[in-house]
Chain A
């Protein structure tokens, strides 16, 4: 980003000088006028580069601040600065250019205060939670705090990046704490059963856990927003699972996709499917009692709603890659 700006500044600088000298050549006839024009061009160029310098400053400042350790993270390890300056810009490329994510119903996301996003999970690699994070940030102007499986926090690199980008362990305590703090919390109750399912089972919702997420929302008295995601299923179509290899590597599954592991690292590039992320109508939980059976019913109802929305969105989307 910084380099881009630097090179833009160079180009403007060079163009300015070139323009000034060309102008001078033409105006050689009148030395006085030539002086004014040359000075004017130079001023314009210096103004422009000052302007660019100002926009460069934050980037330089950002790096200096990071290097001195002078930044704040919250108690979950969330680093808002790093997320906004590094993680989100990288994900945004995938979001805008690769998956061409279309966001619907973002007005259902409250401008402030807590809510619990509950979404379908798919696609072998949990890209759907990352893309939802971009959608919540770019369209909804909020930070989404995702809940992740413990495997995330025991896997090198994933552990480090997850905490810094706002993910915390999917457990009652953390969910409640985030919700009481007024955060937008994202949960994918299908877990590995959802991401790790085969391509032939695409858009078939798995069991929504034991409805623990409803419990957390009820206790914190925050609304639940069903989120339906179309497009993630086609990113890494899992044709087969190699459970022996998975057990050997300590993974929940080992995927075989049309490109992975056949094409090695190249197979890790997701297919450019067309995505739709739909934020549904908020479901209030204030009137609900602390009654597990009721929670299970609501979880089932939300699952049904997402399944119906997915069907509708799939028809509307048509070709998964166009």
Chain B
């Protein structure tokens, strides 16, 4: 019987994970923490308003005899207030503090971290598929990808210091679905998609439901290690545009970055430099390790995921606007 703490409980993934764990009779106790309160409750899961940057987390872990800590709180999108600097502080300082709390608590036996395949970057020098062991051609230098990379560094440090704790890191492909809002979903909701002329990147997605399923799976499976998690197969950006019936505005690479800068300034979509290189070179990961060792396979393929996103977020809205 597990006693689980989920950090980042008010945001999409943490929220859905709490509900999912609450329905699992194999979980004895579930506690969610976040700086803001979630907008609904999740059955028997308990919510405590706490900041992971605060040492109070350590007391929560001890008081409730937590043995499994799930860190689902690395932000991929700058918050509505505070922007990038607050996002970075929550991501980096928050993770540092949370891991420090785990290190102090003898009851903690499992730590599960949500990471991203963005840490592999995207360049012309990369293999077609990244394995967990692949050294990327170019390391990400900004945004969510850089934060995640730093967080993974702390996690590796933590794993060395507390070798008795099982650490599971899940690197997720770009998550999309009916609900989630990320810079990439905002991009896909644009009426015209800016793209790089002469490049047609391969994309890979994970369905938001599979994201939750994978995290839940990691909580109950007791398998440590680092795993890529993504939907099977790939589609190119041009194929995605055709599936979504959206025109591509193919700009020469020199104009692509300034154009996205303009979009950022007018507040339409905030694409980081990493996402720009994703839209140029694409990125795919090999998920066989998660399948073979963790026993997890995503239910939705990359294409199914995208088509469901289109049905819920693009076609539906266009229909409403039409009426």
Q: Which residues of A contact B (CB under 8 A)?
A: 66-69, 71-77, 150-160, 163-164, 168-169, 171, 173-174, 177
Closest to B198 in A: A156
A76 vs B234: C-alpha distance in the bound complex, in angstroms?
Answer: 9
Q: Which residues of B contact A (CB under 8 A)?
A: 123-129, 131, 134, 196-200, 202, 233-236, 239-243, 252-253, 281-282, 284
Residues from chain A with a CB closer than 8 A to the CB of B240 are 69
A302 to B: closest C-beta gap in Å: 24
Closest to A160 in B: B200
A120 vs B123: C-alpha distance in the bound complex, in angstroms?
Answer: 28
A163 contacts B200, C-beta separation under 8 Å: yes
B242 contacts A69, C-beta separation under 8 Å: yes
A154 contacts B124, C-beta separation under 8 Å: yes
B233 to A: closest C-beta gap in Å: 7
A158 vs B253: C-alpha distance in the bound complex, in angstroms?
Answer: 14
Residues from chain B with a CB closer than 8 A to the CB of A77 are 128, 200, 202, 234, 236, 282
Asked whether A159 and B125 contact (CB < 8 A) given A68-B243, A73-B234, A73-B235, the answer is no
B125 contacts A169, C-beta separation under 8 Å: yes
Asked whether A159 and B128 contact (CB < 8 A) given A68-B243, A73-B235, A173-B134, the answer is no
Q: Can you add 9 more A-B contacts, CB < 8 Å, to A163-B202, A177-B128?
A: A69-B239, A69-B242, A75-B284, A77-B128, A150-B125, A157-B197, A169-B125, A169-B126, A174-B127
Partner of A171 from B127, B199, B239 at Cβ < 8 Å? B127
A69 contacts B127, C-beta separation under 8 Å: no
Closest to A154 in B: B124
B128 contacts A168, C-beta separation under 8 Å: yes
Counting from the closest, the 3 A-B pairs by CB-CB distance are: A156-B198, A69-B242, A154-B124
Closest to B234 in A: A75
List 20 A–B pairs whose Cβ atoms lie within 8 Å, in order of A's numbering.
A73-B202, A73-B234, A75-B129, A75-B284, A77-B200, A77-B234, A77-B282, A150-B124, A153-B125, A156-B197, A157-B197, A160-B200, A163-B202, A168-B128, A169-B125, A169-B126, A169-B127, A171-B127, A173-B131, A173-B134
Residues from chain B with a CB closer than 8 A to the CB of A66 are 242
Residues from chain A with a CB closer than 8 A to the CB of B234 are 73-75, 77
Residues from chain A with a CB closer than 8 A to the CB of B128 are 75-77, 168-169, 173-174, 177
B126 contacts A72, C-beta separation under 8 Å: no
A156 contacts B127, C-beta separation under 8 Å: no
B127 to A: closest C-beta gap in Å: 4
A152 vs B252: C-alpha distance in the bound complex, in angstroms?
Answer: 16
Residues from chain B with a CB closer than 8 A to the CB of A68 are 242-243
Residues from chain B with a CB closer than 8 A to the CB of A174 are 127-128
A178 to B: closest C-beta gap in Å: 9
Partner of A73 from B125, B197, B199, B239 at Cβ < 8 Å? B239
A75 vs B234: C-alpha distance in the bound complex, in angstroms?
Answer: 6
A154 vs B201: C-alpha distance in the bound complex, in angstroms?
Answer: 12
Closest to A67 in B: B242
Partner of B253 from A69, A152, A156 at Cβ < 8 Å? A156
A69 contacts B243, C-beta separation under 8 Å: yes
A205 to B: closest C-beta gap in Å: 26
A156 contacts B199, C-beta separation under 8 Å: yes
A155 vs B281: C-alpha distance in the bound complex, in angstroms?
Answer: 11
Partner of B199 from A69, A150, A151, A160 at Cβ < 8 Å? A160
A243 to B: closest C-beta gap in Å: 22
A150 vs B281: C-alpha distance in the bound complex, in angstroms?
Answer: 11
A59 to B: closest C-beta gap in Å: 18
Closest to B243 in A: A69
A76 vs B286: C-alpha distance in the bound complex, in angstroms?
Answer: 11
A74 to B: closest C-beta gap in Å: 8
Closest to B310 in A: A69
Asked whether A73 and B236 contact (CB < 8 A) given A156-B198, A169-B125, the answer is yes
A303 vs B33: C-alpha distance in the bound complex, in angstroms?
Answer: 64
B204 to A: closest C-beta gap in Å: 9
Asked whether A153 and B236 contact (CB < 8 A) given A68-B242, A177-B129, the answer is no
A25 vs B131: C-alpha distance in the bound complex, in angstroms?
Answer: 77
B127 contacts A173, C-beta separation under 8 Å: yes
Asked whether A159 and B198 contact (CB < 8 A) given A68-B243, A69-B242, A150-B125, the answer is yes
B311 to A: closest C-beta gap in Å: 14
B243 to A: closest C-beta gap in Å: 4
Residues from chain A with a CB closer than 8 A to the CB of B233 are 72, 75
Residues from chain B with a CB closer than 8 A to the CB of A156 are 196-199, 252-253
B258 to A: closest C-beta gap in Å: 17
Residues from chain B with a CB closer than 8 A to the CB of A171 are 127
Closest to A157 in B: B198
Residues from chain A with a CB closer than 8 A to the CB of B126 are 169
Residues from chain A with a CB closer than 8 A to the CB of B241 are 69
Residues from chain B with a CB closer than 8 A to the CB of A150 are 124-125
B284 contacts A159, C-beta separation under 8 Å: no
A163 vs B237: C-alpha distance in the bound complex, in angstroms?
Answer: 13
A289 vs B196: C-alpha distance in the bound complex, in angstroms?
Answer: 45
A275 vs B100: C-alpha distance in the bound complex, in angstroms?
Answer: 68
A160 vs B281: C-alpha distance in the bound complex, in angstroms?
Answer: 9
A135 vs B238: C-alpha distance in the bound complex, in angstroms?
Answer: 29
Closest to B127 in A: A173
B200 contacts A153, C-beta separation under 8 Å: no
A71 vs B239: C-alpha distance in the bound complex, in angstroms?
Answer: 8
Residues from chain B with a CB closer than 8 A to the CB of A72 are 233
A174 vs B282: C-alpha distance in the bound complex, in angstroms?
Answer: 15
A169 vs B235: C-alpha distance in the bound complex, in angstroms?
Answer: 19
A265 to B: closest C-beta gap in Å: 18
- In this complex, the member of A66, A69, A153 whose beta carbon has the largest number of chain B beta carbons within 10 angstroms is A69
B157 to A: closest C-beta gap in Å: 28
Closest to B125 in A: A150
A160 vs B236: C-alpha distance in the bound complex, in angstroms?
Answer: 10
Residues from chain B with a CB closer than 8 A to the CB of A74 are 234
B283 to A: closest C-beta gap in Å: 11
